């Protein structure tokens, strides 16, 4: 998953220098790193029985925790790449990351 997410970040979110994935039980925690060295907590994925479809929770700094959320597709689960796009759209101020077809 980490390799796929790093490839997606290079493709769609060039401001993100790297993606780190930590797996704990049914959850995968996704963090990003900027070129400046700043670390960003992005989202949490929840394994729901498929390697290609995961539940999605966004990191909310205001709550200091994760909040179950929906992806731009309107679904509460999707691919790890969709989750990364959504989180990057929010935390990197790039709403075009939410579009399947970027300009």
Domain-embedded: residue 103: no
Is it the case that residue 48 has pLDDT exceeding 80?
A: yes
Q: What is the pLDDT of residues 2-47, one digit of tens each?
A: 999 999 999 988 889 999 999 999 999 999 999 999 999 999 999 9
Quick one: pLDDT at residue 96?
Answer: 72
Q: Which residue has the higher pLDDT, 98 or 86?
A: 86
* Residue 15 belongs to a domain: yes
The pTM for the full model equals 0.90
Total structural domains in the chain? 1
Note whether residue 32 is domain-resident: yes
Give the N- to C-terminal CA distance of the chain in Å, as an integer. 26
pLDDT class of 98 with cuts at 50, 70, 90: low
Assigned domain for 73 exists: yes
Question: Tens digits of per-residue pLDDT, 64-82?
Answer: 999 999 998 999 999 999 9
Q: What is the extent of the structural domain holding 30?
A: 2-98
Query: Is 69 contained in some domain?
Result: yes
* pLDDT at site 82: 94
């Amino acid at each position: 998953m980490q390799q796929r997410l790093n490839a997606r970040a290079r493709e769609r979110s060039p401001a993100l220098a790297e993606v780190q994935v930590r797996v704990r039980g049914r959850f995968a925690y996704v963090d990003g790193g900027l070129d400046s060295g700043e670390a960003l907590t992005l989202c949490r994925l929840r394994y729901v029985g498929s390697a290609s479809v995961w539940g999605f929770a966004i990191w909310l700094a205001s709550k200091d925790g994760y909040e179950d959320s929906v992806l731009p597709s309107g679904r509460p689960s999707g691919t790890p790449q969709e989750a990364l796009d959504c989180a990057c759209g929010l935390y990197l101020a790039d709403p075009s990351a939410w579009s399947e077809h970027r300009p």
